[in-house]
Amino acid sequence: MTIAQALIPRGLGMRWQRVEKLLLQVTLDTSLVAYGHFLENHEKRPTMILVHGLEGSSESFYILGMAEKALAAGINVIRLNIRNCGGTLHLTPTLYNAGLSSDVLRVIDLLVSEKKLSDLFLVGYSLGGNLVVKATAELGLRTKWVSGTCAIAPALDLPICIDAMEKGFNRFYELLFLTSLKRKMVLKKKLFPNKFDLSGLKNIRTLRKFDDTYTAPDGGYKNVAHYYETASSKPLVKSITTPTLIITAQDDPLVPYESFIDLDTDSVRVVAPKHGGHAAFLQDMNKGMEVASDPFWLDNHITAFCLAHSKKLKGEE
């Protein structure tokens, strides 16, 4: 199912209106690029902020599919690129990491102040799922602007996830990610010649080694173990007060199900079907439907959650 989701046509009608390229300055030396799709009377509608996964971008097929579904339901969409993704290597001297929830929080601030948006929903996938869960736990006064969070197959326990990545067929995915990351480092070196030492780049064979050599030091962590421990959002889940939906599959090959056992609280609900792969969740149209009229159960389930928790649609804002 993990592989099949990328092969099934989603019938994108590109019904996006008022598309805007947004340049969002999150720190003094770092800006992010996002694409805003605003419907008519957008200030009166809920808005979904989509955050992609490892080595994804605002153009990832699952981001585009979710955006199309949300827009059709009357929800504005912001497709966010995290640092260095979506052709933004030149906009920061730094690298992205799984703990940069501060970027998500800053994006919320900017969308509220500059675009007059509220009734926001954070939706993140895999690494992006960890980012939005961590950000939700750290919202503080921003809770008045964020109505809910959806995290799909979130890598909220990074040590367990990286262990799984290094086993069996998952090495195929690890090598794909690693190849992409290495390619980015070469381009990054050309943009910022004095920032990174690439002398040992060719000898790196695992994501753990890459993170130990580049990601952890760049993010200010002591070492890779400190990075994985500190960036993981799982310890923060119990402190979340914003309505949060975590969707994972018990057969997810990349994010072990053991990460999600006993995480439910009054505010956090974990939905964990036996099958779904990694952020795929395709459904058999011949066996009944829960919230869908097409095979993309995940997109429909997320949309239904946002509509049900929208303060503006319920007249609470």
In a domain, 286, yes or no: yes
Q: Which of 196, 231, 266 is the last residue of a domain?
A: 231
The reply to whether 315 falls in a domain is no
Nearest CA to 254 among 179, 150, 176, 183? 176
Please check whether residues 111 and 191 belong to one and the same domain: no
pLDDT in tens, 96-105: 999 999 999 9
Q: Is residue 239 part of a domain?
A: yes
Assess whether 146 and 53 both reside in one domain: yes
pLDDT in tens, 32-51: 999 999 998 889 999 999 99
* 177 in the same domain as 303: no
Q: What angle do CA 18, 24, 30 make, to 5 degrees?
A: 150
* Residues 161/256, Cβ–Cβ less than 8 Å: yes
Do 153 and 64 fall into the same domain?
yes
Residue 314 lies in a domain: no
Residue at which a domain ends, from 204, 231, 258: 231
Predicted TM-score (pTM) of the model is 0.92
For the chain, what is the HEC assignment? CCCHHHCCCCCCCCCCCCEEEEEEEEECCEEEEEEEECCCCHHHCCEEEEECCCCCCCCCHHHHHHHHHHHHCCCEEEEECCCCCCCCHHHCCCCCCCCCHHHHHHHHHHHHHHHCCCCEEEEEECHHHHHHHHHHHCCHHHHHCEEEEEEECCCCCHHHHHHHHCCCCHHHHHHHHHHHHHHHHHHHHHHCCCCCCCCCHHHCCCHHHHHHHHHHHHCCCCCHHHHHHHHCCHHHHHHCCCCEEEECCCCCCCCCHHHHCCCCCCCEEEECCCCCCCCCCECCHHHCCCCCCCCEHHHHHHHHHHHHHCCCCCCCC
| Judgement on whether residues 203 and 255 belong to the same structural domain of the protein | no
CA atoms of 301 and 230, how far apart (whole Å): 30
Rounded Cα distance between 105 and 132, Å, is 9
Q: What span, in angstroms and rounded, lies between the C-alpha atoms of 255 and 302?
A: 19
> What per-residue confidence (pLDDT) applies to 308?
97
Which residue, 201, 231, 261, sits at the end of a domain?
A: 231
Position 316 in a domain: no
Segment 236-281, tens digit of pLDDT: 999 999 999 999 999 888 899 999 999 999 999 999 988 877 765 6
Average pLDDT, the chain: 90
Instruction: Look at residues 234, 254, 223 and name the one whose alpha carbon lies nearest to residue 157.
Output: 234
- Contact call for residues 63 and 50 (beta carbons, < 8 A): yes
Percentage of residues in the chain having pLDDT higher than 90:
76
Q: Are residues 224 and 287 in the same domain?
A: no
Q: Is residue 174 part of a domain?
A: yes
| Predicted local confidence at residue 286, as pLDDT | 45
| Alpha-carbon gap, residue 281 to 284, rounded angstroms | 10
Same domain, 244 and 103: yes
The 10s digit of each residue's pLDDT in 141-194 is 999 999 999 999 999 999 999 999 999 988 998 999 999 999 999 999 999 999
Dist CA 210 CA 197 (whole Å) = 12
Q: Are 247 and 260 in contact (CB under 8 A)?
A: no
| Predicted pLDDT at 90 | 98
Whether residue 174 is found in the same domain as residue 246: no
* pLDDT of 70 higher than 70: yes
Output the six-digit token pair for 78: 């912001």
Please check whether residues 152 and 165 belong to one and the same domain. no
Same domain? For 289 and 152 the reply is yes
**Res 317: pLDDT:** 72
31 and 149 together in one domain: yes
Residue 149: what are its φ and ψ, rounded to 5°?
A: -135, 140
Same domain for 33 and 126?
yes
Range of the domain at 205: 160-231
Give me 93's structure tokens.
Answer: 């001297």
Q: Is residue 219 part of a domain?
A: yes
Residue 63, domain CATH = 3.40.50.1820
Q: How many domains, in total, are found in the chain?
A: 2
Higher per-residue confidence, 43 vs 13: 43
